[in-house]
């Protein structure tokens, strides 16, 4: 693999810039090193978090569901934070990436930790390492990407739909 594509989803959230990138490897990845290079330095009010993970059995030609509402972003100040995705394919992998919340939290209903070895740290400070995923069994409309936190504080969220190998868009 030589490089990643342009962001699939992108947006500013307070001082955080949430982005989602993907790359298609030429062969199966095994212990590969993923690096990020920041073109300019970060200021004291900016944050950089990175979570890299592999997904098997996706539509290689069109990895993201083509539904115009297949991705979402949200910001706010509350104990429950959510954005909604809609899918056209029956076997999408829904992912959620949070940032900028503090205190105990829980994943949305039916979601699991993308990186379970990081999840214990998510009880004190949540960032992209606390990302969640869930596979759906049918096309969805207004499917919630969500988290709940113990305290009423600022949150940011990005959600997306990765199309399974049987996807048609």
| Domain-located, residue 33 | yes
| pTM metric for this prediction | 0.80
> Please, what sign has the CA dihedral across residues 79, 112, 162, 5?
positive
Query: Taking CA 63 as the corner, what is the angle to CA 112 and CA 57, rounded to the nearest 5 degrees?
Result: 60
Confidence of residue 54 (pLDDT cuts 50, 70, 90): confident
Q: Which residue has the higher pLDDT, 63 or 21?
A: 63
pLDDT at 10: 46
Which residues pair with residue 99 across a beta bridge?
A: 156
Calpha distance 164→3 (Å, rounded): 22
Calpha distance 115→44 (Å, rounded): 27
Q: Which residue has the higher pLDDT, 45 or 158?
A: 158
pLDDT at 2: 39
| Domain-located, residue 25 | yes
pLDDT tens-place string over residues 3-39: 444 344 445 555 566 677 777 777 877 887 777 776 6
Q: Which residue has the higher pLDDT, 83 or 59?
A: 83
The 3-state DSSP class for residue 128 equals helix
The number of folded domains in the chain is 1
| Domain-located, residue 167 | no
| Domain-located, residue 1 | no
| Domain-located, residue 98 | yes
Structural domain for 53, as ranges: 9-162
Which residues pair with residue 74 across a beta bridge?
A: 157
pLDDT at 5: 41
| Domain-located, residue 168 | no
pLDDT at 101: 57
| Domain-located, residue 3 | no
């Amino acid at each position: 693999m030589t490089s990643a594509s342009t962001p699939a989803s992108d947006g500013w959230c307070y001082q955080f810039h949430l982005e989602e990138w993907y790359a298609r490897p030429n062969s199966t990845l095994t212990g590969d090193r993923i690096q990020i290079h920041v073109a300019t330095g970060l200021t004291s009010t900016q944050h950089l978090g990175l979570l890299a993970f592999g997904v098997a059995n996706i539509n290689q030609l069109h990895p993201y569901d083509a539904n115009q509402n297949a991705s979402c972003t949200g910001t706010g100040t509350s104990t429950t934070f959510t954005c909604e995705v809609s899918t056209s394919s029956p076997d999408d992998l829904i992912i959620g990436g949070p940032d900028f919340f503090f205190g105990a939290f829980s994943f949305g209903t039916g979601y699991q930790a993308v990186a379970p070895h990081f999840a214990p740290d998510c009880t004190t400070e949540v960032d992209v390492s606390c990302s969640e995923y869930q596979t759906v069994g049918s096309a969805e409309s207004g499917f919630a990407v969500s988290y709940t936190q113990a305290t009423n504080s600022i949150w940011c969220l990005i959600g997306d739909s990765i199309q399974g190998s049987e996807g048609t868009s």
